[in-house]
Amino acid sequence: MAEFFYSFLNHAFLQNAIIAGILASIVCGITGTFVIIKRITFISGGIAHTVLGGIGIAYYLGIEPLIGAFVFAILAAVIIGLIKLKGAQHEDTVIGALWAVGMALGLIFMYLTPGYKSDLMTYLFGNILLVTRSDLWVLLILNLVIIGSIFVFYRQFIAIAFDEKYARISGLKVNLLYIFLLILIALTIVVLIQIVGIILVIALLTLPAAIAFLFSRSPATMMLIAAVLGIIFTGSGIVLSYSANLPTGATIIILSGMAYFISLFLKRKKRKC
């Protein structure tokens, strides 16, 4: 612990990692709350994995991979949103197919790109210790965009999460709101991929919010609790993984997962009393 703080004061990459963890946790708590209350974990997983296709193509074309990730995340959000709204009979299969095809595209384009392929692991499993100052700016701007949008549309998003059919009857533009919400989730996913990678992103998006769900009386408190939990998990994950020389993303997820199962257990116990 003392060793970590000594390094923290002397190494910019650790400071960046902690700031990235805080920024990611805030946005995660806010959009993750909607993922939980609207029950769209699977859809979010679909968006996250499709993003690898965009990263692969950008990589191949020599563009900044983050741009490829953005484009594919938004495309995936719109396509999956439309599939869901159409109520196609096999929507889960279609989303599953997009999920796999996106990943396959990413792998093929990365394979076709000449050169060293260590980046693939970074995108799949993330590396918060590689976050740079300019990454932090991107994170900050995304945070402001996502938080601002959710602040403005808060009540309407809650309405479609609670009762989509009734929101439609009330005359809300449910389809637009739904796709917009998915796009915000997609943007959050792009932010989080840098921290924990594509494979683990869903865990970081949903676990803090899922724990908060057990103890909240309103979506707003749920967001607050989830953000604080996220900061605790990423912070302690960074410290622990640095001290024990373990992969950071995986450590963060294991901490979050353990906390989730413990809270489920505590909640059950409380109910029995």
Partner 1 sequence: MNKIIKIENLSYSYDFQPSLKNINLEVEENDFMAILGPNGGGKTTLLKIILGFLQPDSGKIEILGTTPQKARRHIGYVPQYAQFDSDFPIKVKEVVMMSCLQNNSFFPKYPQRAQKKAIALLKKLQIENIAEKRLGELSGGQKQRTLIARALMTDPKILLLDEPTASIDSSIEKDIYDTLEELNKNTTILLVSHDIAFVSSYVNKVTCLNVRSCTHYTKDIKGEKLQQAYMGSIKALEHGCNL
On the 0-12 / 13-18 / 19+ scale of CB atoms within 10 A, 141 is exposed
Q: What residue type is 236 in one-letter code?
A: S
- Identify the residue whose tokens are 């074309």: 61
Cβ 220 vs Cβ 10: under 8 Å? no
Tell me if 37 contacts partner 1 by CB under 8 A: yes
Least gap, CB of 29 to partner 1 (angstroms) = 14
Q: Mask of contacts with partner 1, 145-164, x by CB under 8 A?
A: ------xxxxxx-xx-xxx-
Tell me if 271 contacts partner 1 by CB under 8 A: no
Least gap, CB of 162 to partner 1 (angstroms) = 6
Closest to partner 1 by CB, 27 or 158: 158
Q: From 178, 150, 136, 125, select the one nearest 21 (Cα to Cα).
A: 136
Least gap, CB of 218 to partner 1 (angstroms) = 5
Q: Tell me, by CB under 8 A, how many residues bind partner 1.
A: 30
Closest to partner 1 by CB, 133 or 173: 173
Tell me if 256 contacts partner 1 by CB under 8 A: no
Cβ 105 vs Cβ 131: under 8 Å? no
Q: Mask of contacts with partner 1, 207-226, x by CB under 8 A?
A: ------x--xxxxxxx----
Tell me if 87 contacts partner 1 by CB under 8 A: no
**Calpha distance 85→68 (Å, rounded):** 26
Which residues are within 8 A (CB) of 176 and not within 5 positions of it... i.e. 6 or more apart?
A: none
Which residues are within 8 A (CB) of 212 and not within 5 positions of it... i.e. 6 or more apart?
A: 29, 33, 221, 222, 223, 224, 225, 226, 229
Least gap, CB of 185 to partner 1 (angstroms) = 18
Least gap, CB of 173 to partner 1 (angstroms) = 6
Tell me if 243 contacts partner 1 by CB under 8 A: no
Alpha helix (H) residue ranges in 38-132: 41-61, 65-86, 91-112, 118-125
Least gap, CB of 48 to partner 1 (angstroms) = 24
The DSSP code sequence of 191-240 is HHHHHHHHHHHHHHHHHHHHHHHHH-SSHHHHHHHHHHHHHHHHHHHHHH
Q: Mask of contacts with partner 1, 163-202, x by CB under 8 A?
A: x-xxxxxxxxx-----------------------------
Residues in contact with partner 1 by the rule CB under 8 A: 37, 39, 151-156, 158-159, 161-163, 165-173, 213, 216-222
